Amino acid sequence: MADVQVDVSGEMDATIPAEVLRKNQFLGFLPRQIPDPKEWISRQKQNVRPWSIFLSTSNFKSFPSVPRLSKRILRNIEYFQSNYVFVFLGLIVYCLITSPFLLVAVIVNLYTGYKLSQRHTEKKLVICGKELTLGHQYGLLVLVFLPIFYLVGAGAAMFWVLGASFSLIMLHAAFYNIEALVTEDEGEFPLLQEV
């Protein structure tokens, strides 16, 4: 059989053309950069709506129709987004407090990770002549703690938190009458205007 040679030399452009982005709108919604956690949390704290308004029972009304329900849910999620984040975090804390083995496992995992980062700054860890980066050490820590988290019920706790958060947030968003607080002409909801 004869040898076939194919020329594969050259430059390759890895950017996404603008016309592909216009055709596939999903790519436009992907985040370009992961936000800094401290900055994101401080921004969420600044955007928290007053809890007295968030929990005001006088604003809970049934939805007039199904088409208006979806609009109400979207408006409530956008308006009370920071409040919903803190509801989610509160449920995580509740789950940890009511599950002592899980709480101990999380504390031991965080403490071990803290000690690994301290040790990494002082002295590098070398195994079989190869230096392990801090990322590799964290990966090993996760591999060691996965069975422990499984045994203490972290999977069930995670799904409970996700289910309870989704249920509470959707119930609040469906029945809270946002139209009583914010009128449509205030331009408070830029995401709904894009849809």
pLDDT in tens, 55-76: 888 888 888 888 888 888 988 8
Q: For residue 195, what pLDDT band results from cuts at 50, 70 and 90?
A: very low
pTM: 0.67
Domain locations along the chain: 86-179
Tokens of 67: 């088409």
pLDDT digits (tens, 9 = 90+) for 81-120: 899 999 999 999 999 899 899 999 999 999 999 998 888 8
pLDDT beyond 60 at 192: no
114-143 confidence digits (pLDDT tens): 998 888 888 877 778 788 888 888 888 999
